[in-house]
Amino acid sequence: MTVIANILIVTTIVVGLIFTIVTMIGILRLPDVYTRAHAASKSATLGVLSILLGVFFHFWLKEGHFSISLLLGIVFLFITSPIGGHLMGRAAYMSGVKPTELTVGDDLKDAVKEAKAKNMQQLKD
């Protein structure tokens, strides 16, 4: 039982650590804001989530303390972290940050132009 618990704890924490390191490399290596936001919001979420899960298992299986706060933290992080990434990417797009040269499509540009035109039409009426 102790061996299984140890394996579970060590595996989840090491997976979390690897994902966090991958996030760091991604933020350093990727070319523009959008790809960096992608790396930061996805992989960091899973990394921290996995570390929290490992800590939760440690306190539950080794110390006998069932921590609701850690579970709540996991749920909270799972909800809020991607929203943070979304809002940062959106704010960057709206303030005119250009994506990298390698980008092939930009659907949001047409949508924003259409919305602006509609808005101008409404102002005229």
* Strand, helix or coil for residue 78: helix
- Site residues (CB under 8 A) for another protein, limited to 56-85: 69, 72, 75-76, 79-80, 83
Please give the DSSP secondary-structure letter assigned to residue 31: S
Residues 6+ positions from 48 with CB-CB distance below 8 Å: 16, 20, 77, 81
User: What's the min distance (Å) between Cβ of 125 and another protein?
Assistant: 15
Q: Toward another protein, which CB reaches closer, 11 or 119?
A: 119
Q: Amino acid letter at 25?
A: I
The reply on whether position 91 binds another protein by CB under 8 A is no
User: What's the min distance (Å) between Cβ of 61 and another protein?
Assistant: 21
The reply on whether position 86 binds another protein by CB under 8 A is yes
Residues 6+ positions from 81 with CB-CB distance below 8 Å: 41, 44, 45, 48
Binding mask 94-123 for another protein (x = CB under 8 A): ---------------------xx--x----
